Amino acid sequence: MVGLLIMDELNNLFHGFAVALTLPNIGFMLIGILLGVLIGVLPGLGGANGVAILLPLTFGMSPTSAIIMLSCIYWGALFGGAITSILFNIPGEPWSVATTFDGYPMAQKGKAAQALTAAFTSSFVGALVAVLMVTFLAPVVAKFALNFGPPEFFAVQLLTFASFIGMSKEPPVKTMLAMMLGFALAAVGLDSVTGTLRMTYGQESLLKGFDFLIAVIGLFGIGEILLTMEEGLAFKGQKGRITLRDVLDTWKELPKYWATSLRACLIGCWMGVTPGGATPASFMSYGTAKRMSKHPENFGKGAIEGVIAPETAAHAAGTSALLPMLTLGIPGSPTAAVLLGGLLIWGLQPGPLLFTEQKDFVWGLIASMYLGNIVGLIVVLTTVPWWAAILRIPFSIIAPVIVVICAVGAYTVHNSMLDVVLMLVFGLMGYAFKKLKYPLAPLVLALVLGDMAETSFRQSMLISKGSLDIFVSTPLAGSITGLALIMLAWPLLGLFKKLSRG
């Protein structure tokens, strides 16, 4: 039975490779990776807003080609973040902050090529493990989720949001506020169930509500540029050039660190599937590696494990974040949320049915994860000097160009200038939120999932005639809701401890 099931997945996967391996799709893959690395390298453009800006370009493509290109942008961005961290001590992406701790010291000691090779290779390993997990676990989860009714879906969504509050580094109240703001913005406009206008206050332009793509471009793009400007960045980088010899020498050394790598994969996969995301995964993995190491004193001074651990985990988390997105329609990271928004725009309903109704699409995507990461690894290993050169372009050129790109991206979503203005407002908001420690990820996720969460809540309420008991009445919904409540109570527990101590 199990053997049959695996055969089935392998068959599907080979079919997926046939879909992904057509010439145009390989071309999109390559373009995607290159754009992705560029986005990952440039400050202010990251995975989430990079994909958001480029999403309108794909409206004319077939959904399969589009998702292949967009997901490759994502892989590219994951790779690109490491380059700036190691060579310039500037994390191009939040998930590569932990990579700077040991990556930059290594570069300072003249071991930049080694650090880069280790980072790229571990990224690749992390992604590969996560894709393997997605390949074999996703169909099972999807099959299981076919039995879900509205109460179960709402319970899963509740769990997603509760774990944000329970697990986030930021103050729980602020996480909650950011999230509720996302829900409130999602509710603006035409209510799809009753056709009532909500919270438009007579403004016709608010009819269609707030688009999360605009929010993502503003919050992450403009907000980041404002923050970078404030730091008055001057890029002073180390030289980066990798020869074949460097690669082979580093590869010979890497198997020694299999245990670090394995732990990092586990942490990454776990944090990706539960909505922790790549950033906390990389920090957690770095911390664990340091604690378990025989020479923790070397960490921070250029230990190669300090590069392997966060990079593996970040890639594993970034990749496995697609598992809940595809099977349950719940993205595990902001970038996955943008991809999910893309699916909706192309008329695909994410969730368990996707696996039975859109086989080509799903397996084409999964196959492209394998191929995209292989292509990505080769591309970054061979092109590092280019990207380093791009980073030497002064900020006074890069900054206005990025603002222009963001504005164009925001405009093309709906061909509306109002969106460009809104993008600026969101940008200012992103700046203030970052400084005051309001997390942005839950805001974006709530904005994307708001309608879905509300619909499943209302449907459940209709079934139960307004009684909240429905979320605990079946064993499945009950246990998920229970887990969600534990997550919610987590920060309170800490509070009580603090109070009782005095």
Q: For binding to other proteins (CB under 8 A), which residues are involved? A: 56-57, 60, 173-174, 176-177, 180-181, 183-184, 187, 191, 193-194, 196-199, 201, 222, 225-227, 229-232, 394, 396-397, 399-401, 403-404, 407-408, 411-412, 415, 417, 420-421, 424, 427-428, 431-433, 435-436, 438, 454, 457-458, 461-462, 466
C-beta closer to other proteins: residue 15 or 458: 458
- Cβ-defined contacts of 460-469 (< 8 Å, 24+): 460/149, 460/150, 460/151, 460/154, 463/149, 463/150, 463/151, 464/151
C-beta closer to other proteins: residue 339 or 420: 420
C-beta closer to other proteins: residue 27 or 394: 394
C-beta closer to other proteins: residue 222 or 362: 222
Measured torsion, CA atoms of residues 440, 441, 442, 447, in degrees rounded to the nearest 10: 90
Task: Quote the least distance from Cβ 201 to other proteins, whole Å.
Answer: 7
The structure tokens listed for 211 are: 């688009």
Task: Quote the least distance from Cβ 280 to other proteins, whole Å.
Answer: 22
CA-wise closest residue to 130 among 314, 7, 258: 314
C-beta closer to other proteins: residue 357 or 469: 469
Task: Quote the least distance from Cβ 53 to other proteins, whole Å.
Answer: 12
C-beta closer to other proteins: residue 181 or 489: 181
C-beta closer to other proteins: residue 432 or 493: 432
Task: Quote the least distance from Cβ 398 to other proteins, whole Å.
Answer: 10
Task: Quote the least distance from Cβ 192 to other proteins, whole Å.
Answer: 10
Q: How far apart are the C-alpha atoms of 320 and 58, rounded to whole Å?
A: 23
Task: Quote the least distance from Cβ 435 to other proteins, whole Å.
Answer: 6
Q: Are 65 and 341 in contact (CB under 8 A)?
A: no
Task: Quote the least distance from Cβ 70 to other proteins, whole Å.
Answer: 14
The structure tokens listed for 294 are: 């025989």
Q: Are 173 and 191 in contact (CB under 8 A)?
A: no
Task: Quote the least distance from Cβ 444 to other proteins, whole Å.
Answer: 16
Q: State the CB neighbour count (10 A cutoff) for residue 32.
A: 28
Task: Quote the least distance from Cβ 150 to other proteins, whole Å.
Answer: 12
Interhelix angle for 334-345 vs 441-464, to 10°? Answer: 60
Q: How far apart are the C-alpha atoms of 134 and 16, rounded to whole Å?
A: 14
Q: Are 369 and 71 in contact (CB under 8 A)?
A: yes
C-beta closer to other proteins: residue 188 or 304: 188
DSSP string, 34-95: HHHHHHHHSTT--HHHHHHHHGGGGTTS-HHHHHHHHHHHHHHHHHHHHHHHHHHS--SSGG
* Three-class SS of 372-432: HHHHHHHHHHHHHHHHHHHHCCCHHHHHHHHHHHHHHHHHHHHCCHHHHHHHHHHHHHHHH
The structure tokens listed for 413 are: 């979503």
The structure tokens listed for 39 are: 């986005």
C-beta closer to other proteins: residue 222 or 326: 222
Task: Quote the least distance from Cβ 67 to other proteins, whole Å.
Answer: 17
Q: How far apart are the C-alpha atoms of 436 and 87, rounded to whole Å?
A: 29
C-beta closer to other proteins: residue 248 or 417: 417
Give 295's DSSP letter.
-
Task: Quote the least distance from Cβ 297 to other proteins, whole Å.
Answer: 33
Q: Partners of 189 in the beta sheet?
A: 198
Distant-in-sequence, close-in-space partners of 51: CB < 8 Å, separation ≥ 6? 70, 73, 74, 335, 338, 339, 342
C-beta closer to other proteins: residue 299 or 433: 433
Task: Quote the least distance from Cβ 49 to other proteins, whole Å.
Answer: 15
Q: How far apart are the C-alpha atoms of 2 and 5, rounded to whole Å?
A: 5
Task: Quote the least distance from Cβ 382 to other proteins, whole Å.
Answer: 24
Distant-in-sequence, close-in-space partners of 359: CB < 8 Å, separation ≥ 6? 12, 15
C-beta closer to other proteins: residue 262 or 401: 401
- What are the φ/ψ torsions at residue 405 (nearest 5 degrees)? -60, -45
C-beta closer to other proteins: residue 66 or 281: 66
